Structure 1
Amino acid sequence: MNGTTLVLRVLHHGEKHLAGELRLVADRHGTDHEVHHVATDLARWSEEHALRVVQAARDQGLDLHDSSGTGSGVLAELRRKAAEAVGHRPEPGLLLLRDLRALHLYATENSLYWEMVAQVAQATRNEALLTLASDCHPQTLPQIRWTNTMIKNVSPQVLASL
């Protein structure tokens, strides 16, 4: 394994993890329509990124064994019911802040890995990897901006009401 395949492996894991966490947050906070819909849309971007990284890794001789399923319907229904129950308790705002903070850190970490992919692609003159990073990294930045904006909007209300 070389440095390029190493960063692709970590990036693949990071994008899949972020997609899963975004879907989990969308389900957990299903009563907050903005959170639910935006997180679901952002999860699709990370799922697409993970699939594209699998192909790029394959071109580098690395098989990442992608299983890009989004989870069973039963689990999604369970999360939806839990979100409804949490929506009636006094601390869903704190839970949302915790979730947004975690999403922000995951997206930021992926952004750094996309930078590494771009840098190694430039150093090795790998146009395919450079194109991949150029296509995917810009979509990571709105994920970061959305979580940051949500934290700015939600934290004053939640923290002042404690």
Structure 2
Amino acid sequence: MNGITLTLRALHHGERQLAKDLVVVAERHSTEHEVHHVAKDLVTWSNVACVRLAEAADHYGLALDGPAHTSTSGFAPTLREKTAGSLGHRPEPGLLLLMDLRDIHLAAAGNSLYWEMLAQAGQAAKDERLLDLATACHPQTLRQMRWANTMIKNLSPQVLTSL
């Protein structure tokens, strides 16, 4: 296994985990409509990245799965939504939301670094496949990170001063 395959594997794992985390955030904070709907939309970007990474990995002899199973139906999501609904007006859910957004931001930042590493490796190796992949997917990861950062900036004053 070489550095490119290690990076592909790490990035694939990171995008799958980010998709799972975004689904949990969307379900856990279903009473925060903007968070709920945008987080669900952002899952798609990580899932597309996973598919594209798996396709690219085949060229390097690496077998990667497709996107993570990110179903929003079933017992656990329903329980999280009910809990979110009953806790929706207490300050503690606000702190939980800030922590969740922080985790999303950090996960996206980690993925962004891997995308940058992959792009640099593609440039050094003159590998158009890697450059095209990073060029197509990295901007969505940056948008995921900026969204989480913006939400933290918008929510922090109210949440942190209401405790």
State the TM bucket, normalised to the shorter chain: over 0.9
Identity value in percent: 60
Residue in 2 that maps onto 1:90:
91
Residue in 1 that maps onto 2:162:
161
Compute the RMSD of aligned alpha carbons. Answer: 1.3
Output the amino acid matched with 1:44.
T
Kindly provide the CA deviation profile for residues 17-44 of structure 1, in whole angstroms up to 9, marking residues without a partner as x: 0011011000000011100011111111
**1:30–1:36 contact (8 Å) kept in structure 2:** yes
Residue in 2 that maps onto 1:133:
134
Q: State whether structure 2 residue 68 is matched by structure 1 residue 68.
A: yes
> How many Å separate the matches in 2 of 1:151 and 1:67?
27
Residue in 2 that maps onto 1:28:
28
Alignment: residue pair count: 162
Residue in 2 that maps onto 1:47:
47
**1:27–1:79 contact (8 Å) kept in structure 2:** yes
Residue in 1 that maps onto 2:14:
14
Runs of at least 5 residues in structure 2 that lack an aligned partner in the other structure: none
> How many Å separate the matches in 2 of 1:151 and 1:73?
27
Task: Tell me by how many angstroms 1:106 deviates.
Answer: 0.3
> How many Å separate the matches in 2 of 1:9 and 1:40?
24
SS in 2 for 1:103: helix
Residue in 2 that maps onto 1:79:
80
Relative to the length of structure 2, the TM-score reads 0.94
> How many Å separate the matches in 2 of 1:35 and 1:67?
21
Runs of at least 5 residues in structure 1 that lack an aligned partner in the other structure: none
SS in 2 for 1:137: helix
Task: Tell me by how many angstroms 1:87 deviates.
Answer: 1.3
> How many Å separate the matches in 1 of 2:128 and 2:40?
31
Residue in 2 that maps onto 1:117:
118
Output the amino acid matched with 2:71.
G
